[in-house]
Amino acid sequence: MKLDRILPFAKILLQKAVTAGDVVVDATLGNGHDTVFLAELVGEAGKVYGFDVQQQAIDASRERLRQHGLLDRAVLFHDGHEHLAEKIPAVHHGNISGAIFNLGYLPGGDKTIVTRPETTITAIDQLLEIMAPAGIIVLVIYHGHEGGAAERDALLAYCRGLDQKTAHVLQYQFINQQHNPPFIVAIEKI
């Protein structure tokens, strides 16, 4: 297949925005795969700020970072991403080049704990305030779970309403797949 699948395309977008020494956000740590990817992108001089409401995600991400020798490049918060502007030091405001959200539930975790549109939208609003120009936010929207369709619809409505003078918004998805396949919405700050 020559078309990029969803998760590889998310990484391609982040690679376009993030370089060594940058500050980035993993807004939903999950099992730490994106955290490690971002820590590798930012290099020794960069920093990853990660957020998750589940201790299981914090522990899994910390262990994955440790296994890759990248623990010193990340600061992990056992907190919701809607608090990112207050948790990320002000010295980094205006310098964040990339962020990723994997929405839905923690793979292998409690499927009743899911992301919510109101906290995700709050986090996106905050990121658009504190990101650098040309910074990219990647939303990987998993919507096949309880509450997933409502979150999907709220996020799409929010993103469609973003002023094109302040952000470019892209939707990337496969439209002929069954079972509510995930898709990407990418937001580039102007």
Q: Is 20 helix (H, G, I), strand (E, B) or coil?
A: coil
pLDDT at 6: 97
* Chain centroid, CA 180 distance in Å: 20
List, in order of start, the domains of the chain with CATH numbers.
6-189 (3.40.50.150)
Whether 118 shows a pLDDT value over 90: the answer reads: yes
The pLDDT-based confidence of 134 (bands split at 50, 70, 90) is: very high
- With tokens 């309880």, the residue in question is 146
pTM above 0.85, yes or no: yes
Q: pLDDT digit string (tens) for 143-165?
A: 999 899 999 999 999 999 999 99
Give the residue ranges of DSSP H helices in 43-164: 55-67, 84-87, 117-130, 148-160
Q: Is 12 helix (H, G, I), strand (E, B) or coil?
A: helix
In the predicted model, what is the mean pLDDT of the chain?
97
Is residue 21 within 8 A of residue 42, CB to CB? The reply is yes
Nearest 5°: the CA angle 121, 115, 111 is 170
Whether 71 shows a pLDDT value over 90: the answer reads: yes
Percent of the chain whose predicted confidence (pLDDT) is above 70? 100
